[in-house]
């Protein structure tokens, strides 16, 4: 088995994402979890960047004992010394130095010739190697660099003691076939490449960071730079969870390759990084998004309930998610509804299921998701009197702080549709008085209770009422995403119970 080294740069490149700034204490908290996750190297920061960044690398170095700890440095003596000093307590320290090699960077950023860049690379790697045994060198913007010059720079870095050569796609410019070509050319044209581990660092500007990284692995790269949730500069970095699960899932492609990641810690790590950076995980995010293992389409749900692998290529438990989620919504089918009702411990005859399914579809058109409590409410309503003397057709009301509330209620009664209007102390009172005009029943409202069945702005309101008619008390209930409608349905439900 060939080991693929996971080099996590969440705390360095990930933190460079605008708005993702972390304190040294927060970095240490994430570092502990990255160690639990099993990453091989943690790039803890850029020590020269600020006192707190130096402190963070130092704190991580002192406390992390299983994973290697790395500090970033430019090819400047002060940077390299700062990185070295911050890593003094690390059990497995590494200094990562970088130097731009593309023509556009040389011309506009450095204003230096290629020969000068080669000399800087030579001296910097040598200086760093005298301070730390484990040196990683990155020719920045490698994917836009002249290949012949890139080969010479890599050869120089290795000759001075660099043990890892990282190839950065700094601006996310390349694509998988080009990565394959580049890595193959490096392996074939750098004479001493066998003395170093070849690495890849991809950005996601064109949405291909993970694909490019995987292409590099298939071409001979044995270390991958990545971040949790793919956070990082601009559009971010290659996502650790996607990379790892791609290799784990497609063993037919990534043959004889081993990654020492405890995948069951992925979701927990993802949430921690999201919470501390404030970067919300998109629902459709691969592996860790809330929809990654959720199914709403009826065809999918039916197949999932029969055999999960029909629509899931991974077991959610393998990434730390307890189970798949069958989401009941407007696309769900009868099979999923029946299974959910059975799971709630409710047994219904087929004719009742058909009726509830019809009501479920009507509710799902109003709500994004139908929850268990919504289903219980539907079942409760379905247990109302089979013969409904009074059935709601429509209800309208006008209310406000400076007007007298009025309502118009239209009801089906003895195969006729009757409408009545009334005013009241509020819209519900106006509706109830309008209903009384239609039914001619003298009632006294004893109790009215409204509560939300679930959370969210589109939650159903559930109303329970008690009315006294001729000395007897009758109760009714109704639910709807419209509070007024649920109030009227509850009142009519009570009246329909009068014998």
Name the band, by pLDDT with cuts 50, 70 and 90, for residue 376. low
Range in 22-36, 255-269, 482-496 with the lowest mean pLDDT: 482-496
More confident residue, 383 or 372: 372
More confident residue, 498 or 155: 155
Domains of the chain: 2-277 (3.20.20.70), 294-382 (no CATH), 390-496 (3.30.160.270)
Range in 19-33, 261-275, 320-334 with the lowest mean pLDDT: 320-334
Most confident of 17-26, 206-215, 372-381, 463-472: 206-215
CA distances from 165 to 236, 320, 403 (A): 21, 33, 76
Q: Tell whether the model's pLDDT for residue 491 goes beyond 90.
A: yes
More confident residue, 117 or 460: 117
Q: What is the mean pLDDT of the chain?
A: 90
Give me Rg for the CA atoms of the chain. Answer: 33
Q: What's the pTM value of the predicted model, to 2 decimals?
A: 0.75
pLDDT of residue 229: 97
Q: Tell whether the model's pLDDT for residue 258 goes beyond 90.
A: yes
What's the per-residue H, E or C state across 177-218?
HHHHHHHHHHHHHCCCHHHCEEEEEEECCCCCHHHHHHHHHH
pLDDT of residue 154: 98
What's the average model confidence in pLDDT over 326-334? 72
List pLDDT tens digits, range 213-242: 999 999 999 999 999 999 999 999 999 999
* Of residues 284, 281, 143, 169, the one with CA closest to residue 224: 169
Q: Tell whether the model's pLDDT for residue 383 goes beyond 80.
A: no
Question: What span, in angstroms and rounded, lies between the C-alpha atoms of 340 and 345?
Answer: 9
Q: Which two tokens stand for residue 485?
A: 């409608």
Question: What span, in angstroms and rounded, lies between the C-alpha atoms of 195 and 165?
Answer: 10
Q: Are 405 and 427 in contact (CB under 8 A)?
A: yes
More confident residue, 382 or 191: 191
Q: Which two tokens stand for residue 68?
A: 């290697």
* Of residues 250, 171, 239, 252, the one with CA closest to residue 210: 239
Range in 30-39, 92-101, 338-347, 407-416 with the lowest mean pLDDT: 338-347
Range in 208-212, 225-229, 377-381 with the lowest mean pLDDT: 377-381
Q: Where are the alpha helices (DSSP H) in 316-368?
A: 334-343, 350-364
Q: Tell whether the model's pLDDT for residue 186 goes beyond 80.
A: yes
What's the average model confidence in pLDDT over 112-117? 92
Question: What span, in angstroms and rounded, lies between the C-alpha atoms of 199 and 222?
Answer: 6
Name the band, by pLDDT with cuts 50, 70 and 90, for residue 331. confident
Q: Tell whether the model's pLDDT for residue 373 goes beyond 80.
A: no
Share of the chain above pLDDT 90, in %: 69
What's the average model confidence in pLDDT over 108-135? 94
What's the average model confidence in pLDDT over 104-131? 93
pLDDT of residue 372: 67
pLDDT of residue 325: 67
pLDDT of residue 457: 67
Question: What span, in angstroms and rounded, lies between the C-alpha atoms of 484 and 158?
Answer: 75
Strand partners, 167: 200
More confident residue, 70 or 450: 70
Residue at token pair 């009241």: 424
Q: Tell whether the model's pLDDT for residue 96 goes beyond 60.
A: yes
List pLDDT tens digits, range 437-490: 999 999 999 989 898 876 666 677 888 898 999 988 888 888 888 899 999 999
Name the band, by pLDDT with cuts 50, 70 and 90, for residue 386. low
pLDDT of residue 327: 65
Name the band, by pLDDT with cuts 50, 70 and 90, for residue 306. confident
pLDDT of residue 359: 73
Question: What span, in angstroms and rounded, lies between the C-alpha atoms of 359 and 357?
Answer: 5
Q: Tell whether the model's pLDDT for residue 187 goes beyond 70.
A: yes
């Amino acid at each position: 088995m060939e080991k693929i080294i996971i080099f996590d740069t969440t705390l360095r490149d990930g933190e460079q994402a605008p708005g993702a700034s972390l304190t040294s204490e927060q970095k240490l908290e994430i570092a502990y979890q990255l160690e639990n996750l099993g990453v091989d190297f943690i790039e803890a920061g850029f020590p020269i960047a600020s006192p707190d960044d130096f402190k963070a690398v130092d704190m991580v170095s002192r406390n992390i004992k299983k994973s290697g700890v790395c500090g970033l440095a430019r090819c400047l003596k002060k940077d390299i010394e700062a990185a070295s000093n911050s890593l003094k307590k690390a059990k497995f320290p590494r200094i990562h130095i970088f130097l731009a090699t593309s023509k556009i960077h040389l011309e506009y950023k450095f204003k230096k010739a290629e020969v000068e860049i080669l000399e800087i690379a030579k001296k910097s790697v040598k200086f760093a190697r005298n301070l730390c045994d484990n040196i990683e060198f990155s020719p920045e913007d490698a994917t836009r660099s002249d290949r012949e010059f890139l080969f010479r720079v890599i050869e120089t870095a290795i000759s001075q003691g660099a043990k890892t050569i990282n190839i950065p796609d700094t601006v996310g410019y390349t694509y998988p076939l080009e990565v394959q070509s580049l890595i193959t050319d490096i392996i074939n044209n750098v004479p001493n490449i066998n003395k170093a581990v070849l690495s890849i660092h991809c950005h996601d500007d064109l949405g291909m960071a993970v694909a490019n990284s995987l292409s590099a692995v298939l071409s001979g790269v044995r270390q991958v730079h990545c971040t949790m949730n793919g956070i990082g500069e601009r559009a971010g970095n290659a996502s650790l969870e996607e990379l790892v699960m791609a290799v784990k899932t497609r063993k037919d492609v990534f043959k004889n390759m081993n990654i020492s990641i405890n995948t069951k810690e992925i979701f927990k790590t993802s949430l921690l990084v999201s919470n501390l950076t404030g970067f919300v995980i998109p629902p459709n995010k691969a592996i860790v998004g809330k929809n990654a293992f959720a199914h709403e389409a009826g065809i999918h749900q039916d197949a999932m309930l029969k055999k999960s692998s029909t629509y899931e290529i991974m077991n959610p438990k393998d990434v730390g998610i307890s189970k798949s989620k069958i989401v009941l919504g407007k696309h769900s089918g009868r099979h999923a509804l029946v299974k959910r009702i059975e799971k709630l411990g409710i047994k219904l005859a087929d004719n009742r299921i058909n009726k509830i399914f019809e009501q479920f579809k009507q509710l799902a058109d109003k709500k994004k998701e139908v929850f268990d409590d919504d289903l219980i409410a539907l079942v409760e309503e379905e247990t109302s009197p089979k013969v409904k003397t009074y059935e709601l057709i429509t209800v309208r009301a006008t209310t406000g702080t400076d007007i007298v509330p009025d309502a118009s209620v239209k009801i089906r009664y003895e195969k006729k549709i009757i409408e009545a209007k009334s005013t009241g102390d509020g819209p519900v009172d106006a509706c109830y008085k309008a209903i009384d005009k239609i039914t001619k029943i003298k009632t006294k409202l004893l109790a009215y209770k409204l509560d939300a069945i679930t959370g969210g702005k589109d939650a159903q309101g559930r109303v329970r009422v008690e009315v006294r008619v001729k000395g007897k008390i009758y109760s009714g209930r109704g639910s709807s995403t419209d509070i007024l409608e649920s109030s009227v349905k509850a009142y009519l439900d009570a009246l329909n119970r009068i014998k």
